[in-house]
């Protein structure tokens, strides 16, 4: 079966409720899911992400994409369905960012080694063992699928320091959501419409 070619989709920003919604387990792999996984990988690569969770493109299924090449490993991007963290080792402090939180970076500790189980894109059981930057990325994406953002793992003081940037992102996302809702209810817009 030929692999679907994905399209670059919009990554939702902080403030979109889908980022706080725990995803549902994949129970069957169909053409819609295959297209979504192709979109997930294309979006991740186009927007220079190391990983991307399905809810970051507005899908509420338990799938994330990973790009090992982003951590200098010569492996093609792939998706993991229904990931479960089964082992972690060590701990290392490192900088983290997120496509849903552009311009927001901070340091936080994560395990240095991670083993997860899940399903591959064909629905076969798989085990993934990663370390370093990829371990950080995998845990970051698993958090996303649970409705957790990396900023939730920062201290209260650090979150307060990011408050103004987070408010800006919320406002940007609210504006996009407002335009999308208006497009659904009002197909014709006049000149000067901010949503045009």
Proportion of the chain above pLDDT 70, given as a percent: 89
Residue 141 appears among annotated catalytic residues? yes
Structure tokens at 118: 């899940």
How high is the pLDDT of residue 189?
A: 47
Structure tokens at 139: 């845990």
Fold designation for 17-184 = Peptide Deformylase (3.90.45)
How high is the pLDDT of residue 48?
A: 92
How high is the pLDDT of residue 63?
A: 98
Question: How far apart are alpha carbons 23 and 142 in whole angstroms?
Answer: 10
Residue from 141, 170, 188, 191 carrying the catalytic annotation: 141
| DSSP classification of residue 194 | T
Question: How far apart are alpha carbons 79 and 167 in whole angstroms?
Answer: 31
How high is the pLDDT of residue 191?
A: 44
pLDDT in tens, 52-102: 999 999 999 999 999 988 888 888 999 999 999 999 999 999 999 999 999
- Distances, alpha carbon 141 to alpha carbons 48, 63, 98, 195, in Å: 15, 9, 10, 31
């Amino acid at each position: 079966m030929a692999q679907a070619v994905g399209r670059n989709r919009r990554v939702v920003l902080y403030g979109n409720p889908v980022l706080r919604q725990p995803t549902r387990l994949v129970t069957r792999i169909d053409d819609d899911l295959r297209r979504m996984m192709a979109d997930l990988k294309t979006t991740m690569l186009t927007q220079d992400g190391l990983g991307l969770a399905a809810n970051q493109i507005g899908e509420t299924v338990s799938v994330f994409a990973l790009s090992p090449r982003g951590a200098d490993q010569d492996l093609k991007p792939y998706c993991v369905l229904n990931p479960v963290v089964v082992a972690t080792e060590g701990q290392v402090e490192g900088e983290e960012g997120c496509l849903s939180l552009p311009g927001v970076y901070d340091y936080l500790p994560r395990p240095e080694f991670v083993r997860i189980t899940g399903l591959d894109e064909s629905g076969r059981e798989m085990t993934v063992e990663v370390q370093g930057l990829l371990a950080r990325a995998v845990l970051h994406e698993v958090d996303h699928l649970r409705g957790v953002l990396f900023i939730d793992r920062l201290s209260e003081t650090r979150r307060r320091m990011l408050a103004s940037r987070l408010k800006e992102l919320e406002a940007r996302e609210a504006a996009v959501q407002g335009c999308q809702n208006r497009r659904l209810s009002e197909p014709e817009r006049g000149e000067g419409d901010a949503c045009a």
